[in-house]
Amino acid sequence: MRLILIGPPAAGKGTQAAKLVEKYGITHLSSGDMLRAAIKAGTDLGVQAAAYMDKGNLVPDDLVVDMMVERVKESDCDDGFLLDGFPRSLPQAEALDSALSEAGVSLDAIVAIKVPDDMIVGRITGRRMDPETGDIYHMDFSPPPAEVASRVVQRQDDTEEACRVRLEKYHAETAPVLPYYESTGLLKEVDGNAAPNVVTEQIFDILS
Active-site annotation, residues? 13, 88, 127, 155, 166
- Please classify residue 7 by burial: count the beta carbons closer than 10 Å to its beta carbon, then call 0-12 exposed, 13-18 middle and 19+ buried: buried
Per CB under 6 A, 92 contacts ligand ADP: yes
For residue 208, what are the contacts with CB-CB under 8 A and spacing of at least 6? none
* Number of neighbouring beta carbons within 10 Å of residue 35: 23
- The 19-48 contact track toward ligand ADP, x by CB under 6 A, reads ------------xx--x-------------
CA-CA distances (angstroms) from residue 129 to 78, 135, 153, 164? Answer: 31, 6, 5, 20
Return the amino acid letter for 6: I
Q: Which of 58, 77, 110, 199 binds ligand ADP (CB under 6 A)?
A: 58
Residue nearest to ligand ADP (CB): 32
Of the two residues 52 and 180, which places its CB atom closer to ligand ADP in the complex? Answer: 52
Q: Which of 3, 50, 59, 93 binds ligand ADP (CB under 6 A)?
A: 59
Per CB under 6 A, 115 contacts ligand ADP: no
Per CB under 6 A, 12 contacts ligand ADP: no
Q: What distance in Å separates the CA atoms of residue 113 and residue 199, rounded to the nearest whole number?
A: 9
Per CB under 6 A, 112 contacts ligand ADP: no
Of the two residues 32 and 144, which places its CB atom closer to ligand ADP in the complex? Answer: 32
Angle at 190 between CA 95 and CA 28, to 5 degrees: 50
Give yes or no for a cis peptide into 87 (omega within 30° of 0).
yes
Q: Interface residues for ligand ADP in 69-88 (CB under 6 A)? A: 85-86, 88
Residues at the site binding ligand ADP, with contacts judged by CB under 6 A: 9-10, 13, 31-32, 35, 52-53, 56-59, 64, 85-86, 88, 92, 157, 166
